[in-house]
Amino acid sequence: MIVILLGSQLLNAQCKIDNNSFRSGEELTYDLYFKMGILNPKAGFSILRVDDADYDGQKVQKAQLIAQSTGTASKLFSVNDTITSYFTKKLVPLAFYKDAHEGGDYTKEKITYKYKNGKTNIYTRRDKNEVFRYAETVTSSNCVYDMLSVVFYARTLDYSTMKKGDTRVVEFMSGKRKLQMIVEHAGTERMKANDKKRYNCIKLILSISDDAFKDKEEAMKVYITNDANRMPVRIDSKLKVGSTQAVLKSYKGNLHPIEN
């Protein structure tokens, strides 16, 4: 019994991160662009928000990303996504939910995390167009992030100790597969946002790879402010058809004053 408790405590201690970059109440609003071929039209909006929440009897944080296409773009490729991630205030992942309407397809995904005996047990399920696709349990000895919590994890890294080309690697769930997520420091850039301001940013390239690092695929680029907030100014990510680009339009509830 003592061994079991120690194993669970050690894993939780390993996963816990001191967060000094964001807080509950932060809300970031983005203009959303779709890139299909040479076209890159403004096509909707996206909101990324963090709130206090209750989950499984715990006081936790809930991050939620809403993305919605509008206007003519909806006729080309409609998007209406709600992605939710629950994690402790020390950024230990607890659950992930995806409710996505993309291009005529409707997908529901669920990932839940349980920590026991020094292991992370991850239950993952997907239904597509109201048809059951899979339900599996994956086990790991490490912290395992989802597509939203990994962005917040990236915001907490100590970039003062990193230079261009340096990487950090964590485990990551992509559907029912447990992969490696590589967070690469890709240098600094001064980025123009849609609030008519420019921000000094750190460019991150997030790529997924198999356990052997043989196959590597870029998942997204994230430009975060080069200040204490590490606030995402632009997020580029891929869709089944084309890609999206979210450009910051407004923010509120940030933990630290924003540096331009």
How many angstroms separate the CA atoms of 156 and 33, rounded?
A: 27
With contact defined as beta carbons under 8 Å apart, do 254 and 155 qualify? Answer: no
pLDDT class of 109 with cuts at 50, 70, 90 = very high
Rg (CA), the chain: 18
Report residue 202 CA to chain centroid gap.
16
Whole-angstrom Cα distance, residue 167 to residue 181? 10
Q: Which of 24, 3, 34 is nearest to 246 (CA)?
A: 34
258 touches 227 (CB < 8 A): yes
Decide which of 166 and 36 is more confident: 166
pLDDT digits (tens, 9 = 90+) for 127-163: 999 999 999 999 999 999 999 999 999 999 999 999 9
Q: What b/e sequence results for 159-193 when a residue is b if at least 16 CB atoms lie within 10 Å of its CB, and e otherwise? A: beeeeeeeeeebbbbeebebbbbbbbbbeeeebeb
pLDDT over 50 at 17, yes or no: yes
Q: What is the mean pLDDT of residues 87-93?
A: 95
Tell me how many degrees the CA angle 55-58-64 measures, rounded to the nearest 5: 40
pLDDT at 171 over 80: yes
Output the DSSP codes for 247-258. Answer: EEEEEES-SSPP
Task: Please tell me the pTM assigned to this model.
Answer: 0.88
For residue 251 the two structure tokens come to: 């923010």
Cross-strand bridge partners of residue 112: 95, 123
In this prediction, residues 2-8 reach a mean pLDDT of 37
What's the CATH number for 2-252?
Answer: 2.40.360
Determine what percent of the chain is predicted with pLDDT higher than 90: 68
